[in-house]
Amino acid sequence: MKIKLARAELGAKPKEIDLEEIDKIVQKESQKIFYFDRDNEHKNLVKMIEYFEDKGKSVYLREVKYGLDDHDYIYEVHIM
């Protein structure tokens, strides 16, 4: 499953990362905060959360607003 990382610039395309790559990073650092693009499907983020919870990790997901428009947000996921 591919998940889009948050864009560094508004006009840029979001980069994608595999769930396996995220898992390797979390195993290496034991906890990590990721920022994902708003273009991700919510069901994919829920699947990712369930994946890490099944591995015994705590996962927190929230929307971070960075502007006044309803579409000005990204997802923050903290995996511990």
Q: How confident is the model at residue 65 (pLDDT cuts 50, 70, 90)?
A: very high
Domain count of the chain? 1
CB 65 within 8 A of CB 42: no
Q: Which helix (H) or strand (E) holds 76?
A: strand 73-79
Q: How confident is the model at residue 78 (pLDDT cuts 50, 70, 90)?
A: very high
Q: How many helices (H) and strands (E) does the chain have?
A: 2, 5
At 5-60, the pLDDT tens digits run: 999 887 889 999 999 999 999 999 989 999 999 999 999 999 999 999 999 999 99
Provide the whole-model pTM: 0.88
Range of the domain at 58: 2-7+14-79
Determine the pLDDT at residue 10: 77
